[in-house]
Structure 1
């Protein structure tokens, strides 16, 4: 079963995160919704827990099936992550050759030692002291280790699950969601906006909340065998209204929650949104199921992973042009006590146009990387899995359909 509408949501959220990271002084910069769009990484975590449960619940019953699951998930997230990480290297080499930067090449964010922790997907486990290299990729690290945790939980509760008794799995998942939330609340000084330090626990909070949403969805969907409606499924007319309310609530919540304690509720808010839109019953669902939104959903992982590279090229290009033109192309702006260095070409509308062009470039590049990096990467690891062991009845080796593939993604 595909959840096409959730794919559409994922694409919109990925573009919102990309716009959040654009440090340019246009009309978008001070919009509350844009400034809070880093919260959509929590939407990705919740959605990931939902679709991973949908795709693999009851299929991880022994060590080989768990290993196959992890190989497949690694093949889903790592190839593009590795290629984008490698693409940052020539930019640092160029910085060393050209000079003129306030920070030496391969220092600070681009420390060589951090390159290896990034490549090994360890950089959301507290081993780094700041954001490094492809900044949004911290959530890929956190999510992969959430996969490991999910597989371990499935193995620990496999006997009960095999008998159709999933209460143990549900209880452990709820506990992990609470633990993740407790660590973030107790130790993060930026509320939900934690990444390289407590990012794994932030992901646990969202991922296992998503698992619980799937269990709720499974209990409230139409019962095919009886042709009736399971208790808990809202009427179609009510769902249509709930979709509109969810959209308004998300916009208001994201705009109001940036940088404050309200952000800690993000996984819970997005859990409600995911649950409502799994029924695909309203006008917004029909819109999100159209081809443009579906394409964007398909490319969403690439959107999330490549936009920081596009921004790095834009920033370096603007720095070079600034020197050539002899006029400033950057300005400093202080918001909420934080001073940012922002691109500014002298006109707010010109910067708005830059934002639109930037999003178009990211989208086109994402379509290319999806076709030539993501798909071949998945195919390679699927073939590797075939060579590693014979196909298992509990975990067939074909790739999970794209609609069941979770995407991520931060600040």
Structure 2
């Protein structure tokens, strides 16, 4: 007797808790990876380094999650110029002001080596970073990093938003248009250049710096995230919760095994990508059958994840400067200093989320409502209550 597969739509919820959990975990992993470099005390360094050497996988989690949420947030849009302009402007308004603020804080308010502020390259790099331009044509996927060096990942995020916004211009044909656009830069252009690669560490050395962003294979992380979002909102389910849990157990096991062993470590779909994609897929499939119960701590970390991603380097550097000023240089190389830096970063990110991200989000919604009302001639309505943005960065 054939097994019937239940056909149900995805649950309609304003907040997808497992997505917030993934964002929070991803942000903390990136923070711990950056802090591991500071720990040189021999009693703690080896274990700390070994445990978090693969923590940059958090960036791949962010990218796959971003693709997932971009499907969820755009699938109901009609498309056309108004939707495209609204989508792109709102997404950039979400990520750019915070990024600009903390980039400026890092350049001008964090101690640097002598001559840093007197070097013209400092300001060239800052301008390029704020325009989401890579600083180099090689050393992918980082491509020279950015002034606030975690900003290298936002170059890919910004391009993904632009590509999706452009595809919205084609209304019903948005997804074929998106596939053509991404296919051109990830497949056709590299073949025209002489070779095709799926490795995020590949360098094409295009003389135009931005082409090295749009053609980097790490973009496939976003694409697979989109596919998972499509499956999540489709009418197809796994046969039952038992099969979903089995898939989730397999996904978690493979992810943890790769994280701990470092097998095929690195960014992109030829390295960490498959285990991250399977993990997000399994969580989505399980959550679709019955909403996962996510501890509030993880949801809260997801809420502050963008601020945490941006501010943790600044918090660490400020703390380090303070301890060096009082003659405690040795303390800045201990595990206790890394722990203190993590707590300080979370506290600063919480303040940033409360007093910067939330007010900015409310302002963006007010402006959006006002513009929509002006364009449609509708009566002004009250701005909806702020809800945490599910999209990294929102990584």
Where does 1:96-111 land on structure 2 (aligned, <5 Å)?
101=113, 103-106=114-117, 111=122
Distance 1:136 1:34 in 2: 17
**1:277/1:302 CA distance change after superposition, 3 Å:** same
2:109 to 60, 69, 91: 91
SS at match of 2:272: helix
Instruction: Name 1:337's counterpart in structure 2.
Output: none
- Is residue 2:76 matched to residue 1:61? no
Instruction: Name 2:303's counterpart in structure 1.
Output: 298
1:402 Cα offset (Å): 2.9
1:14 Cα offset (Å): 0.6
**1:262/1:68 CA distance change after superposition, 3 Å:** closer
**1:210/1:176 CA distance change after superposition, 3 Å:** farther
Distance 2:97 2:304 in 1: 15
Instruction: Name 1:271's counterpart in structure 2.
Output: 277
1:404 Cα offset (Å): 3.7
1:251 Cα offset (Å): 2.0
Where does 1:20-31 land on structure 2 (aligned, <5 Å)?
20-22=33-35, 23=37, 24-25=39-40, 26-27=44-45, 31=49
Q: How many residues align structurally? A: 356
- Is residue 2:28 matched to residue 1:15? yes
Distance 1:44 1:370 in 2: 18
Q: Which moved more, 1:44-53 or 1:260-269?
A: 260-269
Distance 2:211 2:137 in 1: 4
Q: CA RMSD in A?
A: 3.8
Distance 1:405 1:39 in 2: 17
Q: Does the 8 Å CA contact 1:173/1:212 hold for their aligned counterparts?
A: no
Q: Provide the TM-score with structure 2 as the length reference.
A: 0.76
Distance 1:64 1:125 in 2: 34
1:160 Cα offset (Å): 3.9
Q: Which moved more, 1:32-41 or 1:60-69?
A: 32-41
Q: Provide the TM-score with structure 1 as the length reference.
A: 0.73
Q: Does the 8 Å CA contact 1:139/1:199 hold for their aligned counterparts?
A: no
Q: Does the 8 Å CA contact 1:176/1:204 hold for their aligned counterparts?
A: no
- Is residue 2:356 matched to residue 1:373? yes
**1:204/1:189 CA distance change after superposition, 3 Å:** closer
Instruction: Name 1:112's counterpart in structure 2.
Output: 123
Greater RCO (Cα-Cα under 8 Å, separation 6 or more): 1
- Is residue 2:96 matched to residue 1:78? yes
Instruction: Name 1:405's counterpart in structure 2.
Output: 391
> Structure 1: which 5+ residue stretches go unaligned?
96-100, 224-229, 331-342, 345-350
1:75 Cα offset (Å): 1.4
**1:261/1:292 CA distance change after superposition, 3 Å:** closer
Distance 1:299 1:384 in 2: 23
**1:62/1:262 CA distance change after superposition, 3 Å:** closer
Q: Does the 8 Å CA contact 1:243/1:277 hold for their aligned counterparts?
A: yes
SS at match of 1:59: coil
**1:290/1:70 CA distance change after superposition, 3 Å:** same
1:197 Cα offset (Å): 8.7
Distance 1:170 1:142 in 2: 15
Where does 1:384-403 land on structure 2 (aligned, <5 Å)?
384-388=367-371, 390=373, 401-402=387-388
SS at match of 1:185: coil
Distance 2:89 2:247 in 1: 38
Where does 1:30-69 land on structure 2 (aligned, <5 Å)?
31-59=49-77, 61-69=79-87
Distance 1:265 1:311 in 2: 29
Q: Which moved more, 1:368-377 or 1:308-317?
A: 308-317
